[in-house]
């Protein structure tokens, strides 16, 4: 009997999702999941935060469209990948970049070009990039314009406020002056936790509100677009490292084992945004579950090593990019065993 419907083998690049979901739908859903954190950033930093993020989105989409036209390919910017990269890149930028004195608006534009053209398209396009494009764009901006990328605005809960005071981030204070000074700045430890959770602190546009990021991350978990393996292993390993090695004697500055505060580290900087939205990128993270746990543990450990011992107060970006290099190797190491393959090889040898 002839089949009424032809069987087709569809070969495509990652991300591979065994469901009726399309790549476009996944990209737009992840963008929607980022909206609570994005809106929190706009609430605390005003129009500056909105303008910087919009500039990154437009620049990413324009860069991809221009490159595809230059190489004679049909521009496809409606799949949501360029929009999502621009959104993540904008959320990882300081709101202070929206300034014409000194002129720093070019920074997100160039970073967007590096993210889309160099990191994504020159590697073959969606599914072939080794590194997370948004993080490479931010890393390029940080290394090229370190001063502009490390000027942080104080939260100004006024949507139309365009002028803002500069301030150090909680991680910056923690790195330079210690936890005692950080608690003193915020009044007491509980008040510090509340500010870190809600987002009323200096930092990048989309990283400040831990609770808003958590809402979006749990939504993706509910929709089964991500699994718990990377976020939980990332945060758990970072918490253990912070607790064991993060304590210091305020008088001598020497390390005190088992005296660190993991809550401060988990809620500060880009830890939450990185764990839920950057490290879980389908293309640049392992696809095997056990491999994802190892990937997350590596990210958490590297983040804390950089934070505690490195020259930068933050380490999430560098940790994820380093682990991106190992993602293919991790997948190969944890790949499922093919049953019967050994017997077939032995049978061939005996012939």
Residue 1 covered by a domain: no
Provide the pairing of β-strand 255-256 with 247-248: antiparallel
**53-99 residue pLDDT tens:** 999 999 999 999 999 999 998 888 788 999 999 999 999 999 999 98
One domain, residues 274 and 206: no
Give the structural domain span for 268. Answer: 226-335
Residue 185 covered by a domain: no
Q: What is the pTM of this model?
A: 0.88
**189-232 residue pLDDT tens:** 999 999 999 999 999 999 999 999 999 999 999 999 999 999 99
- How many whole angstroms separate alpha carbon 299 and alpha carbon 214? 18
Q: How many CB atoms lie within 10 A of CB 72?
A: 6
Nearest to 120 by CA among 12, 271, 281: 281
pLDDT, average across residues 252-263: 83
- What's the total number of domains in the chain? 2
**265-324 residue pLDDT tens:** 999 999 999 999 999 999 999 999 999 999 999 999 999 999 999 989 999 999 999 999
What pLDDT is recorded for position 155? 86
One domain, residues 208 and 240: no
One domain, residues 213 and 230: no
What pLDDT is recorded for position 1? 45
One domain, residues 282 and 207: no
Helix 133-144 × helix 106-113 angle, to 10°: 130
Q: How far is CA 278 from the centre of its chain?
A: 3
One domain, residues 206 and 68: yes
One domain, residues 149 and 233: no
- How many whole angstroms separate alpha carbon 214 and alpha carbon 225? 15
């Amino acid at each position: 009997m002839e089949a009424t419907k032809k069987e087709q083998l569809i070969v495509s690049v990652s991300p591979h999702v065994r469901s009726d979901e399309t790549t476009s739908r996944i990209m737009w859903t992840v963008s929607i999941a980022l909206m609570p954190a994005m809106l929190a950033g706009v609430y605390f930093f005003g129009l500056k935060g909105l303008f910087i993020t919009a500039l990154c989105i437009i620049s990413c989409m324009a860069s991809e469209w221009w490159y595809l036209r230059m190489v004679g390919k049909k521009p496809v910017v409606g799949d949501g990948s360029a929009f999502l990269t621009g959104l993540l890149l904008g959320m990882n930028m300081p709101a202070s970049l929206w300034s014409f004195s000194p002129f720093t608006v070019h920074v997100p534009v160039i970073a967007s070009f590096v993210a889309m053209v160099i990191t994504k398209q020159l590697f073959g396009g969606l599914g072939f990039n080794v590194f997370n494009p948004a993080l490479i764009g931010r890393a390029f901006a940080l290394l090229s314009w370190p001063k502009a990328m490390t000027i942080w605005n104080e939260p100004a809960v006024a949507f139309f406020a365009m002028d803002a005071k500069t301030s150090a981030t909680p991680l910056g204070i923690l790195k330079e002056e210690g936890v005692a000074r950080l608690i003193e700045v915020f009044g007491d430890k509980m008040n510090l936790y509340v500010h870190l959770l809600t987002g009323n602190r200096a930092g990048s546009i989309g990283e400040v509100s831990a609770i808003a990021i958590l809402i979006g991350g749990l939504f993706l978990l509910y929709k089964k677009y991500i699994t718990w393996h990377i976020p939980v292993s990332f945060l758990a390993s970072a918490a253990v490292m912070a607790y064991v090695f993060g304590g210091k004697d305020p008088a001598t500055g020497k390390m005190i084992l088992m005296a660190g505060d993991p809550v401060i580290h988990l809620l500060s900087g880009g830890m939450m945004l990185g764990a839920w939205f950057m490290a879980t990128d389908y293309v640049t993270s392992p696809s095997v579950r056990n491999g994802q746990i190892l990937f997350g543990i590596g990210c958490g450990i590297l983040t804390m090593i950089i934070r505690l011992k490195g020259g930068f107060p933050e380490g999430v970006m560098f940790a994820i990019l380093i682990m991106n290099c190992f993602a293919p190797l991790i997948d190969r190491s944890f790949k499922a065993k093919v049953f019967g393959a050994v017997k077939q090889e032995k049978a061939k040898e005996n012939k």
